[in-house]
C-alpha cells in the first residue's frame, strides 16, 4: 500500500521526495448508539480498514489535496491562511477543519502541504470515514510540527473541527475510537467524563461482519442534529424535576419515574432510547467480561429495536438488512451501527456460517430494496500510525 500511495503521489504532485505515508482506522460501534452526546457509554472498536495518506510539507502556504476515491475532483487547492468551510471544497473541508482547529487551539500551522488520500472504508457508510480523515490529519500535523499532543487530544481536536468548522454536532465517540484504537479490543468509553477501559473482544469462532446498505447519506444534512436537539429539549424538561446533567445519568427505572415531565411524546421516546441504550451498553460489557457472548448478541438486537422504534433513525434499508440477519443460522446478534439513515449494520456471526450469511442476507436485501448491499468481514486494529 505504501508504494502504491507514493507512486500516485509522485504522479499527482511531481515526485515523492520528502513524502511520508500515514494510516488512521475506521471504527464500528458494537453497541451504544446516539448515547455519546447524551452523556452515556459507547463500545466501539477501531478497524484494520481506514484512511491512508501520503503527505509532504510545503515551504509556502498552499494546500493541495487529492483523493484516489474521488479522482474526478482532481487536485483541490486552498491555503492555510483564512481557512473556512466551502461547499466547493468537498471532502477537503475535513482536513482543512483540523488545520483550523489546531490553529484555534494555539498551534502554529504555518506551512501548506500536499496530501493524497486513499480510503478503503465505504464512503457515507457510517464507519466514520470523516473522523478517520480528521484523526489522520491530526496525526500528520503532529508529525510535521512535533506538536506535543496525545492521541486523546487528536480525538478532541477532530471533534472540535467537525462541530465548529463543518457544523456537524457529533459526539466524541468516532474520533476517540479511531485515535485510541487497540488491536483485538473494544473501548468502553464513558462520554460524560472520557474515562475508558479496553475490553478484550474474545469472539471465539465468530466474526464481525459489516453490511453496507449502499444508501448514501451525509451527517450534516441528515436528521442527526434534529435528534440531538430533541434529546436536549427532553433533558431540559427532566431537569425541572431531577438534578441531572445528562440523560446518561438516569437508570431506566428513574426515567420511568420522571418521564411525565417531558410534555412531548416524541421527545419521551428519544430520551427513553438514550437512557435504555446506555444501560444496555453497560450490561453488554459486563456480559463480555463473563464470556457471555449470547447475552451480548441479545442486547445488540434490543439496541436495534430501540433505534428503530424509539429513535427512528433506521429506515427501510437498515431494518431490512438487520431483520434478514436475525433470520440466519449462526447469527449471535445484529444491529444498525453509526448515525443511521442508511449506512451500515454490524453482525456477530459464527465463523463457519459467514459465507452463507452474506449470501442469504445479500439476496433478501437486493430482492426487497432493489440494489445490492456490500459486506466486509473485519478485524479489530490499532489507532493512527506512520507507515
> Averaged over 47-66, what is the pLDDT?
96
- Residue 158 in domain: yes
**Which pLDDT score, from 0 to 100, does residue 340 have?**
84
Query: CATH code at 101?
Result: 3.30.230.10
Q: In the structure, what pLDDT confidence band is assigned to residue 124 with cuts at 50, 70 and 90?
A: low
**Which pLDDT score, from 0 to 100, does residue 216 have?**
66
| This prediction's pTM | 0.89
> Averaged over 27-43, what is the pLDDT?
95
Radius of gyration of the chain (CA): 21
Res 147 pLDDT > 50 = yes
- Residue 351 in domain: no
**Which pLDDT score, from 0 to 100, does residue 220 have?**
45
> Averaged over 332-358, what is the pLDDT?
94
**Which pLDDT score, from 0 to 100, does residue 200 have?**
87
Res 123 pLDDT > 80 = no
Q: In the structure, what pLDDT confidence band is assigned to residue 330 with cuts at 50, 70 and 90?
A: very high
DSSP secondary structure letter of residue 185: E
Res 341 pLDDT > 90 = no
Q: In the structure, what pLDDT confidence band is assigned to residue 219 with cuts at 50, 70 and 90?
A: low
For all residues of the chain together, what is the average pLDDT? 94
**Which pLDDT score, from 0 to 100, does residue 222 have?**
63
When mean pLDDT is compared across 29-38, 51-60, 276-285, 338-347, the lowest value belongs to 338-347
All 3 cell numbers of residue 202? 474474545
Task: Please give the residue range of the domain that contains residue 122.
Answer: 2-200
- Residue 275 in domain: no
Buried b (16+ CB within 10 A) or exposed e, 312-326: bbbbebbbbbbbbbe
Res 217 pLDDT > 70 = no
Q: What angle do CA 119, 120, 125 make, to 5 degrees?
A: 95
When mean pLDDT is compared across 21-30, 123-132, 359-368, the lowest value belongs to 123-132
Q: Which residues are catalytic?
A: 174
- Residue 327 in domain: no
**Which pLDDT score, from 0 to 100, does residue 367 have?**
98
Q: Using CA atoms, how far apart are residues 301 and 305, in angstroms rounded to an integer?
A: 7
- Residue 107 in domain: yes
**Which pLDDT score, from 0 to 100, does residue 277 have?**
98
- The percent of residues above 90 in pLDDT, for the chain, comes to 86
Q: Using CA atoms, how far apart are residues 86 and 243, in angstroms rounded to an integer?
A: 41
> Averaged over 225-231, what is the pLDDT?
93
- Residue 30 in domain: yes
Res 115 pLDDT > 90 = yes
**How many independent structural domains does the chain possess?**
1
Q: Calculate the CA dihedral of residues 364, 367, 369, 373 and round it to 10 degrees.
A: 60
All 3 cell numbers of residue 71? 479522482
Q: Using CA atoms, how far apart are residues 120 and 381, in angstroms rounded to an integer?
A: 14
3-state secondary structure of 349: strand
Res 131 pLDDT > 70 = yes
Q: Give the residue from 318, 136, 291, 66 showing the smallest Cα distance to 201.
A: 291
Res 12 pLDDT > 90 = yes
Does an H or E element contain 189, and which?
strand 185-190
> pLDDT per residue over 149-176, tens digit each?
999 999 999 999 999 999 887 888 899 9
- Residue 244 in domain: no
Q: In the structure, what pLDDT confidence band is assigned to residue 126 with cuts at 50, 70 and 90?
A: low
**Which pLDDT score, from 0 to 100, does residue 125 have?**
59
- Residue 32 in domain: yes
**Which pLDDT score, from 0 to 100, does residue 342 have?**
83
Sequence-distant (6+) residues with CB within 8 A of 107 are 141, 145, 147, 149
> pLDDT per residue over 249-300, tens digit each?
999 999 999 999 999 999 999 999 999 999 999 999 999 989 899 999 999 9
**Which pLDDT score, from 0 to 100, does residue 204 have?**
80
Q: In the structure, what pLDDT confidence band is assigned to residue 225 with cuts at 50, 70 and 90?
A: confident
Amino acid at each position: 500500500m505504501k508504494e502504491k500511495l507514493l507512486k500516485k503521489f509522485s504522479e499527482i504532485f511531481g515526485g515523492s521526495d520528502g513524502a511520508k505515508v500515514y494510516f488512521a482506522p475506521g471504527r464500528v460501534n458494537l453497541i451504544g448508539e446516539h448515547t455519546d452526546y447524551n452523556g452515556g457509554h459507547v463500545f466501539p472498536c477501531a478497524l484494520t480498514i481506514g484512511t491512508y495518506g501520503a503527505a509532504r510539507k510545503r515551504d509556502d502556504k498552499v494546500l493541495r489535496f487529492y483523493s484516489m476515491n474521488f479522482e474526478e475532483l482532481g487536485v483541490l487547492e486552498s491555503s492555510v491562511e483564512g481557512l473556512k468551510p466551502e461547499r466547493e471544497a468537498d471532502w477537503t473541508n475535513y482536513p482543512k477543519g483540523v488545520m483550523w482547529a489546531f490553529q484555534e487551539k494555539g498551534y502554529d500551522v504555518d506551512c501548506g502541504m500536499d496530501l493524497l488520500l486513499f480510503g478503503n472504508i465505504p464512503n457515507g457508510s457510517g464507519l466514520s470515514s470523516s473522523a478517520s480523515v480528521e484523526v489522520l490529519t491530526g496525526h500528520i500535523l503532529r508529525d510535521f510540527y512535533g506538536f506535543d499532543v496525545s492521541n486523546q487530544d487528536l480525538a478532541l481536536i477532530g471533534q472540535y473541527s467537525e462541530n465548529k468548522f463543518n457544523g456537524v454536532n457529533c459526539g466524541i465517540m468516532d474520533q476517540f475510537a479511531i485515535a485510541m484504537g487497540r488491536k483485538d479490543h473494544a473501548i468502553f468509553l464513558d462520554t460524560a467524563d472520557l474515562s475508558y477501559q479496553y475490553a478484550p473482544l474474545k469472539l471465539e469462532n465468530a466474526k464481525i461482519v459489516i453490511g453496507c446498505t449502499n444508501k448514501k447519506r451525509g451527517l450534516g444534512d441528515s436528521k442527526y442534529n434534529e435528534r440531538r436537539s430533541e434529546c436536549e429539549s427532553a433533558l431540559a424538561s427532566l431537569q425541572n424535576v431531577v438534578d441531572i446533567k445528562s440523560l446518561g445519568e438516569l437508570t431506566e427505572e428513574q426515567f420511568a419515574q420522571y418521564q411525565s415531565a417531558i410534555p412531548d411524546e416524541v421527545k419521551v421516546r428519544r430520551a427513553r432510547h438514550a437512557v435504555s441504550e446506555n444501560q444496555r451498553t453497560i450490561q453488554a460489557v459486563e456480559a463480555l467480561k463473563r464470556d457471555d457472548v449470547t447475552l451480548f448478541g441479545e442486547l445488540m438486537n434490543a439496541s436495534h429495536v430501540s433505534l428503530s422504534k424509539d429513535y427512528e433513525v433506521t429506515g427501510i434499508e437498515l431494518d431490512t438488512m438487520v431483520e434478514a440477519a436475525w433470520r440466519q443460522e449462526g447469527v449471535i446478534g445484529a444491529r444498525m451501527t453509526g448515525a443511521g439513515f442508511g449506512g451500515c449494520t454490524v453482525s456477530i456471526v459464527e465463523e463457519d456460517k459467514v459465507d452463507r450469511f452474506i449470501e442469504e442476507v445479500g439476496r433478501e436485501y437486493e430482492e426487497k430494496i432493489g440494489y445490492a448491499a456490500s459486506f466486509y468481514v473485519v478485524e479489530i486494529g490499532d489507532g493512527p500510525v506512520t507507515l
